[in-house]
Structure 1
């Protein structure tokens, strides 16, 4: 159950974070589990934590990669993911 929530949070975060092609991907380890602090906010009505928002913004160079993963798409396209992105002021990337 915890791994499902972590994957959901990661997918939502990827979908919502803005993508900056000039950002250095070398400084970021692309691992969707980095977005696990967002899982609770994606699956409940609660607001995301500061940690969640920071991780979402940190992972933005990886979001297009995550969005192209069929296993993560259902989480990214969820209403909870959109809510987290809006709250964190991290718009969806254009890939």
Structure 2
């Protein structure tokens, strides 16, 4: 298995769900699961922190059943 590359652009399928109240797509959920080990790294990035901590991000993660780690 290839090593995971932490790339926040991989989460672009989730942007419409995070920025609106649209339900996340299947591709969003699969990308969230794939990028989950990177969440703490993203949260430390000042440009991404607002997205990671938004209530819509939590709703998307809950919808996709991807737990948000405590960083």
- State whether TM-score is above 0.5: yes
TM-score, length of structure 2 as denominator length = 0.91
Counterpart residue number, 1:65: 41
Structure 1 runs (4+) greater than 6 angstroms displaced: none
TM-score, length of structure 1 as denominator length = 0.69
Please tell me the root mean square deviation across aligned C-alpha atoms, in Å.
1.5
Structure 2 residue runs of 5 or longer lacking an equivalent are: none
- Residue 40, structure 1, aligned to residue 38, structure 2: no
Q: Deviations over 1:21-80 (max 9, x none)?
A: xxx9x6211100000000000111110000000000001121111111111111111111
Q: How many residues align?
A: 71
Structure 1 residue runs of 5 or longer lacking an equivalent are: 1-23
